[in-house]
Structure 1
Amino acid sequence: MATTRFESAAPDPLVYLDRLAASDLGRAYKGRMLAELGVRPGHTVLDLGCGPGADLGALAEAATVTGRVIGVDHDQAAVDAARERTAGRHTVTVRLGDIHELPLADGTAERARTDRVLQHAADPARVLREVRRVLRPGGRLVMGEPDWHTLTVDHPDGDLSLAYTGYVTDRVIRHARIGSGLPRLAVEAGFTVPVVIPVTPVLRDVRAADAILGLERTTRRAVADGCLTEEAAQRWLDHLADGPFLASVVFYIVVAEVPPQQGGE
């Protein structure tokens, strides 16, 4: 396949997470998640799958010096980066751990968040049961995940668009429909779900979209896996690079709460 003007080499995973957090899209949805989380001074807040710690500072500011923020990630490089980023924040702790089996006692926290983590988790239902365990009665979990089956990338050949989305959902993302499935999974784990917010960003700048979606990298994988021909892939990429561009995907922000069975917060 001929070289295009897209990013062809995958960025470092931690660089990618920081890039998304700094984008207009990232700032917008993360701000909405923080507002829904409703962190108060003195709260203990969990950031599960915290990555390089892009969100830990904002959580710490919301909890103030009387609160505590605990980040958990399974990747040592991410934990090291998050610890370095928060070195001056004495209320923040970052732990190496598996979110399927959290290294935390029952009823540890009032608030928890996951951000684009459950789509990659081996067992999202187990993760939610663990979060339910470590939250106190009346505690709140806010999750943000896309539903990749809603991914639309406009192209004159609609079949190519469908083929691309189908490849993403079938071969690239482990739990491609996790966004729309979160309310059900949360209820099954013992939460109530008072709020579901669908966010549908529309990307018109192909370079900004490529930085998030990895358009060429994903297309190359589809060719290698026999899901697109070389000719179809080049036709797809040529139009995306040169023609009017539009892409969108529905991102769900889901608020889940632990019933206050033993009293309120």
Structure 2
Amino acid sequence: MPDPFEDVDAASPEMIEIIAAALETRAEDSSMLPVLDAYLDALKVPDGGQIVDIGSGTGGIARRIADRFPACSILGVEPSTALTNKAKELAGNRPNLTFSIGNGANLALDAACADVVILHTVLSHVPDPKPLVAEATRILQPGGTLVICDADFSKAMMGVVPGDPLGSCADAFVDGSVTDAWIVGKLKPLVKDFGLTVKDFNILNRVITSGMGALVWVRMSSTRLVSSGVIGQPLADALEAEYLRRAEAGLLYGFLPFVTLIAIKPEISLESVID
């Protein structure tokens, strides 16, 4: 079954609702905020600058960026109509924030228009990341910054003993809702192929011991397994109840490393020197 994040609008209404809720929960989750704030702290954007968030989903990340850089224009671009409509509803009174529907591999934006381009948990959900990185490079002005933040889903876990059913939910989530669980190990050569210089590459571990931050692993995997007839709804309900029990009792454990790569587009391209 294909990764539902690849084409959200093609998913069932139930799955779209789960995805939208999960994106909002993750954007506000205390275990996720240090990952986001670490790369926002590293950005130096001039007043009046343009930041483009490719694959902006429901806009949770873009809203935080807009609040951090009130003198800049923030554009969130998302291929899903359903998620873009939700992002617009949640945008609030932020005059520097806009959202549009668009394909990250073919943006309706001028070349060299952006100071910063962000790909936050996008590349792990596409079959070929090269067109998105190529397009991000195209719209970056010389000296501009590309931020790629993504999870190392190959190491996602939620089990506390062998055979833990919640551990199986984490495995099933990665199997059915992630296109490339190993993408973070490929990021450095990927951006270098487009002439970008890697400025920073770091890893922060997201450890979930409370809250609803990893409930999406249970909901998306069990919904998929119910719809395919592998398990029944009573088991799906029991898995969610077990997650909630552990969260309330302080017994929850989820682990997911996040890698952030920050790269710079050269001020002068090799082609311009040759010309």
> For the superposition of Structure 1 and Structure 2, which TM-score range results when normalised by the shorter chain?
0.7 to 0.9
Report the Cα offset of residue 148 of structure 1.
0.9
Q: How far apart, CA to CA, are the structure 2 residues paired with 1:144 and 1:103? A: 23
Q: How far apart, CA to CA, are the structure 2 residues paired with 1:88 and 1:161? A: 39
- The root-mean-square deviation of aligned C-alpha atoms, in Å, is 3.3
SS of equivalent to 1:59: helix
1:148 counterpart residue number: 153
13, 18, 25: which is aligned to 2:24? Answer: 18
Q: Which runs of 5+ in 1 are unaligned?
A: 1-8
Q: How far apart, CA to CA, are the structure 2 residues paired with 1:252 and 1:48? A: 17
Report the Cα offset of residue 196 of structure 1.
0.9
Question: Does the alignment pair 1:37 with 2:43?
Answer: yes
Report the Cα offset of residue 52 of structure 1.
2.1
1:206-245 Cα offsets, whole Å, 9 max, x none, are x53542x4226425645877999xxx99999898756944
Specify whether residues 158 and 192 from structure 1 end up closer, same or farther in structure 2 by C-alpha distance, changes over 3 A only.
Answer: farther
Contact kept? 2:54, 2:119, Cα under 8 Å? yes
184, 193, 198: which is aligned to 2:198? Answer: 193
Q: How far apart, CA to CA, are the structure 2 residues paired with 1:84 and 1:20? A: 18
1:6 counterpart residue number: none
2:264 counterpart residue number: 257
Q: How far apart, CA to CA, are the structure 1 residues paired with 2:90 and 2:254? A: 33
Specify whether residues 219 and 77 from structure 1 end up closer, same or farther in structure 2 by C-alpha distance, changes over 3 A only.
Answer: closer
Specify whether residues 151 and 96 from structure 1 end up closer, same or farther in structure 2 by C-alpha distance, changes over 3 A only.
Answer: same
Question: Under a length normalisation based on structure 2, what TM-score does the superposition of the two structures give?
Answer: 0.75
Q: Which runs of 5+ in 2 are unaligned?
A: 1-13, 270-275
2:217 counterpart residue number: 214
Q: How far apart, CA to CA, are the structure 2 residues paired with 1:75 and 1:209? A: 22
> How many positions carry a matched residue from both structures?
250
Contact kept? 2:26, 2:213, Cα under 8 Å? no
Q: How far apart, CA to CA, are the structure 1 residues paired with 2:242 and 2:226? A: 17
Q: How far apart, CA to CA, are the structure 2 residues paired with 1:77 and 1:12? A: 12
Question: Does the alignment pair 1:105 with 2:110?
Answer: yes
SS of equivalent to 1:214: helix
Question: Does the alignment pair 1:116 with 2:121?
Answer: yes
Contact kept? 2:109, 2:139, Cα under 8 Å? yes
Report the Cα offset of residue 255 of structure 1.
0.7
1:115-160 Cα offsets, whole Å, 9 max, x none, are 1122112421110010001001110011211111111333332697
* Worse-matched range after superposition: 14-23 or 125-134: 14-23
Question: Does the alignment pair 1:68 with 2:73?
Answer: yes
Percent identity reads 22
